[in-house]
Amino acid sequence: MPEYQYIGKPARRVDALEKVLGTAKYIADRKLPGMLHARCLRSEVPHARIVKLDVTPALAVPGVRGVITSEDFFEHGLYGFPVKDKYMLAYQKVRYVGEAIAAVAADTPEAALAGVQAIICELEPLPGVFDMEHALDADAPQVGPDRPDGEHPNFLDKLIVRKGDPLAVWEQSPIKLEERYTVGPQEHAYIEPEGVLAVPTPEGGVVVYAPNQSPFINHGNLALVLNLPHNLVRVIQPPVGGSFGGKDDIIYESSAQVARLALITGKPVRMVFSREESLIVSYKRDAMRMHIWLAADPDGTLRACKFDGLLDSGAYASESSFTAWRASIHAMGAYRYDACHVDITAVYTNNGYCGAFRGFGNTEVCMAIEQAIDEMAYKVGMDPIDFRLKNCLRLGDETVHGQRLTESVGLAECLMAVRRLSDWDRKRAEYTRRDVACNVSTTNDIRRGIGVAALYHGTSLGAEGQDYANATIAIEQDNSIDITSGLTDYGTGSRTVFTLIAAEELGVRPERIHMQRPDTDTAIESGPTVASRSTMLGGNAMRIAAMNLRQTLDYAAADLLGCELHQLIRHGEAYVGPAEEPVPWERVVAHAREMGLALSAHGKWTAPRINWDHHAGRGTPYMAYHFAAQVAEVEVDMGTGNVQVIGFWAAHDLGKMIFPQGAYGQLYGGIAQGLGYALMEQITFVNGYIQETNFESYLIPTAVDVPEIVGTFIEAPFSHGPYGAKNIAEPAMVPTAPAILNAIYHATGRRVRDLPANLERVLLGHDLAKGGSPRACKLGLHIA
Amino acid sequence: MPRFDYVRAGSVAEALRLLAEPGLTSRPLAGGTDVLVYIRHERAPFDRLVDISRVPELKIIERRGNEVVVGGAVTYTEAAESPLLRQVAACLVEACLTVGGPAIRNMGTLGGNVVNAAACADSLPPLTCLDTMVHLRSLAGERTMALSEFIMGPNRTAIRAGELLTHFSFPVPPDGARQVFIKLGRRNAQAISRLSIAAIGRLDGQGRADYVRLSPGAAMPTPRRLTEVEAMLLGQVPTDELLIAAGVRSAEVMIAVTGRRWSTEYKEVAIQALAERVLRRVLVL
């Protein structure tokens, strides 16, 4: 393996200091003279027709400078990708509690609230759909848009995978399993609630500071709904306080609202959500109901998998078609089967709305399939790791989709690594024996268990769309180096990754390099910042840009040293020629300037072509896969259902580690988020009203809930990745919940097939319905 | 932000005068960990907050003969760090250490916890086990009543307008009595109690229980000792059978008080386990 100077070596995160010192300026920290404060009138009912909307009384409120509705946008502000079904402000109908109807800009937040409350808005309530199971009933109220194709209007999409006839195999199989699993919505819980700031420009355009994931999508949306040419719209990315998939649509919508208000009033306009507004209004991870059939031979060979999933997209499509697609591709897990069918159906309801969230469909299906696989291991009487090793995808295997895996398949190594690190065999035997010994449970019994889950996760967009990224690099007059990417760093560490790659290729110290935050005026569009694609796509683009610039400097160095290119060697930053006298990098740069060479370069990388046949349910869904295995050790209080995760081990095949602290940070953070998903994070919609409107009711893990995590990386390089790298951000959390659930089963002998595994589910085997009311939402939307 | 006035009192007398000032609705402010949360969502039911958090008389923790006196404005952190309370009121100290996180414990007070009177308040089970008396003062004079009488229901107490909870008092538990508090939450910090329980117990020379106190939290609308369970154990050797029966009886008493609610199916099982567990920890060596 080549020896690198910076790749894979410890490095300081480029934004560490500003975060630690508190000098990073988030939107809520930004103020401009004369800046107005914006706030939305939001629906307090889950489904209604807008009968009357009169904003003139709001304009009469002292301090109010502007009020907008859907009439203020081109085509009422219709937007959305891949499905265009949402408006920047509600048009004709509202479909969920919290949906924005009008937006007010005023001198103070108090005046903005008074303005919102002065708007006359008459809503005629419509019956709603609150149970995804009944969304497609013939007599279900219409939530989704009209479907000219004859489909039910509440039908959003159906994604399939097809190989053979799994039910026929299942019927004949000596060992079979049929089970149902459910997951509820999950809140991203980013530490920074939504906020945007728009500044009108003298030329009639607008600059929007928005902590979005994909500034160019925001840019395109803004130009469209504001009916402005692209050159009059600029989107700048400030520091982002976390996203996890959550700062797409909701930020684009808020951006359009403040941008229009800024254009109307001629003043800067800022909108910042309260935590309550964030929880009520923002999209969540989708809820899913899953039904699995598995068949195996007595020797433990998996034969068939049928997977039916129903996905609740809530009131709008957002990214649910893509989520459902990724779910369908991964639903059967990282195993070989003779036959496999997957059907994931996404539907509209009035339960808030759902969109992207770390793992993006795989987190949901992995919870189900990795439990089902565990249950199957028990049925055939095999150790869960042995069972997975027997059936898991290996180099040269063909996936059920029809893709031959020709490189970078480290799953078996991951399984063996967590087995060793966790002391699996000893603990497994010890806890299993104890379990048999005291099969009469006493209320004061604390039992231990250990469980495993395996993972594969397709890298980048796959067949979701065109997969490319751009990067630029330039040497400034002071010999510092500016780099840009169209991909954003919302906490993922990608700015540091790009810095290290540029440093490696140019042979300069990372301290020379300044990685700008994306600005649509200076960076080049690079597709969305999603799907854990930054390192591979943006990293490759940066590598190409730096290689291009390096070539220019090499020419200059050879000219300066009077030698051939191949005679150049590097000593630190310095160039050394046949005379063996080192020439400082700065002199080479100065010489390049004298030669009239351009000291900037561009890099674009496009992923290898792949294909997916949506009708046949077959093809090559992703260019490569991340593989992983995680092991959880738990203590379960048999008297109360309390679960403590007391140990955690994770081995991930990320191809090649570029930035170690960043990779481990993603791993630990992802596992903490997965632990919350497994045990405590619970969103309850009661007749469309979310009950958890702040962090006193929506619980995420604290430092004392997360055990010490032992992580290790398996590097099975991918030839198209930069230095062999694949990804880590999303896969880190995906197998965590099933590993914990499998450990709970090992401890208790009882399966928890619904998330989260809260006190009630672990103790009683089912959740208790507390009921609920619209009260928390109604209070939360009026916080002064 | 809601608008209201703020004034800081330097003494109990000054606080009482400010609270009674006509023409204004004044409310005491101790740690603010309940009142600030409340006014985030609801209109402030007062015009002025009278800050009592730095009144020296309300910060005392001392022993007076066979009694312990704890001021109303003593914070959870101060209580937990008090050598006296660690010695004589270990279950109260343990309860204080489970409240919120460090920031909440540095601000929140025992007086505030009791006057707010949430059914899940973590100080209530230990204070109830300790047979705590509540001392109130107003310009009209002083009143003293048992904690169990003071709290009339969830978020309802016998405190009157203009009245201040100045301090608590409780008898020092008998020598050798052990104290335990267990909190069950949905996570390990910053969690509201799903169920909690405090117990004090001692065995005599023959291994029989000669002192038992048991009180659950987040189980019933008002705090009370489970005297029915205590009676089962007094004078008895705490065998496994007896402790299990005590757990079962605890659940029966709870259900007799509350009837069957949405959460009863869970709490019925969990309180059995917790009651048995705390009793075992205070009575079995």
pLDDT tens per residue, range A582-641:
999 999 999 999 999 999 999 999 999 899 999 999 999 999 999 999 999 999 999 999
Q: Is the peptide bond before A82 cis (omega within 30 degrees of 0)?
A: yes
Domain boundary among A272, A300, A324: A272
Indicate the burial class of A582 (C-beta count within 10 angstroms; 0-12, 13-18, 19 or more): middle
| Residues of B with Cβ-Cβ distance to A781 under 8 angstroms | none
What would the pLDDT profile of A650-680 be if each residue is shown by its tens digit? 999 999 999 999 999 999 999 999 999 999 9
Percent of chain B with pLDDT strictly greater than 90: 98
What pLDDT score was predicted for residue A443?
56
- Are A433 and A315 in a shared domain? yes
- Are A447 and A477 in a shared domain? no
Closest residue in A to B1 (Cα) is A784
Contact B186/A at CB under 8 A: yes
Q: Is residue A670 part of a domain?
A: yes
> Which residue has tokens 């496994």?
B240
Contact B5/A at CB under 8 A: no
pLDDT band at A1 (very low <50, low <70, confident <90, very high): low
CATH 3.30.465.10 correct for B56-171: yes
Dihedral of the alpha carbons of A701, A702, A708, A714, in degrees to the nearest 10: 50
With 70 as the cut, is the pLDDT of residue A439 above it? no
A759/B274 touch (CB, cutoff 8 Å), yes or no: no
* Residue to substitute from B190, B240, B264, B272, interface A, most A β-carbons within 10 A: B190
B273/A640 touch (CB, cutoff 8 Å), yes or no: yes
CATH number of the domain at A680, please: 3.30.365.10
- Are A265 and A236 in a shared domain? yes
- Are A47 and A111 in a shared domain? yes
B276/A443 touch (CB, cutoff 8 Å), yes or no: yes
Closest residue in A to B195 (Cα) is A640
With 60 as the cut, is the pLDDT of residue A441 above it? no
- Are A576 and A663 in a shared domain? no
Asked if B147 contacts B115 with a C-beta cutoff of 8 angstroms, the reply is no
B42-56 average pLDDT score: 95
Q: Is residue A69 part of a domain?
A: yes
Q: Is the peptide bond before A756 cis (omega within 30 degrees of 0)?
A: yes
Nearest CB to B40: which of A638, A703, A783? A783
Domain boundary among A561, A591, A606: A606
Q: Report angle CA B101, B102, B103 to the nearest 5 degrees.
A: 95
What would the pLDDT profile of A535-578 be if each residue is shown by its tens digit? 999 999 999 999 999 999 999 999 999 999 999 999 999 999 99
- Are A332 and A312 in a shared domain? yes
Q: Domain span at residue A425?
A: 287-462+613-775
- Are A103 and A215 in a shared domain? yes
Q: Which residues contact B65 (CB under 8 A, 6 or more apart)?
A: none
Shortest Cα distance from A679 to chain B (angstroms)? 9
Closest residue in B to A682 (Cα) is B186
With 80 as the cut, is the pLDDT of residue A444 above it? no
Contact B41/A at CB under 8 A: yes
| Residues of A with Cβ-Cβ distance to B249 under 8 angstroms | none
Q: Is residue A733 part of a domain?
A: yes
Nearest CB to A768: which of B2, B189, B265? B265
CA distance A727 to A721: 9
- Are A428 and A366 in a shared domain? yes
Percent of chain A with pLDDT strictly greater than 90: 96
Question: Chain A interface residues facing chain B, Cβ-Cβ under 8 Å?
Answer: 443-444, 637-642, 644, 680, 696, 699, 701-705, 758-760, 763-764, 768-771, 779-780, 783-784
Tell which residue, B169, B184, B162, B159, has the closest CA to residue B267. Answer: B184
What would the pLDDT profile of A377-433 be if each residue is shown by its tens digit? 999 999 999 999 999 999 999 999 999 999 999 999 999 999 999 999 999 999 997
CATH number of the domain at A78, please: 3.90.1170.50
Shortest Cα distance from A442 to chain B (angstroms)? 9
Contact B239/A at CB under 8 A: no
- Number of domains forming the structure of chain A: 3
- Are A429 and A571 in a shared domain? no
What would the pLDDT profile of A726-749 be if each residue is shown by its tens digit? 999 999 999 999 999 999 999 999
What pLDDT score was predicted for residue B42?
87
The CATH number given to B179-283 is: 3.30.390.50
For chain B, give every domain's residue range.
Answer: 5-51, 56-171, 179-283
Contact B187/A at CB under 8 A: yes
- Are A333 and A378 in a shared domain? yes
- Are A429 and A484 in a shared domain? no
Contact B242/A at CB under 8 A: no
- Are A242 and A364 in a shared domain? no
What pLDDT score was predicted for residue A555?
98
What would the pLDDT profile of A266-289 be if each residue is shown by its tens digit? 999 999 999 999 999 999 999 999
Domain boundary among A548, A581, A606: A606
Size of interface A-B (CB pairs under 8 A): 78
Q: Is residue A543 part of a domain?
A: yes
Report the Cα A440 to chain-centroid distance in Å.
44
| Residues of A with Cβ-Cβ distance to B42 under 8 angstroms | 779
Kindly report the average pLDDT of chain B as a whole number. Answer: 96
Shortest Cα distance from A273 to chain B (angstroms)? 14
CATH architecture of B5-51: 2-Layer Sandwich (3.30)
The complex scores an ipTM of 0.96
Helix A736-748 vs helix A660-679: crossing angle, to nearest 10: 50
A129-144 average pLDDT score: 98
What pLDDT score was predicted for residue A442?
55
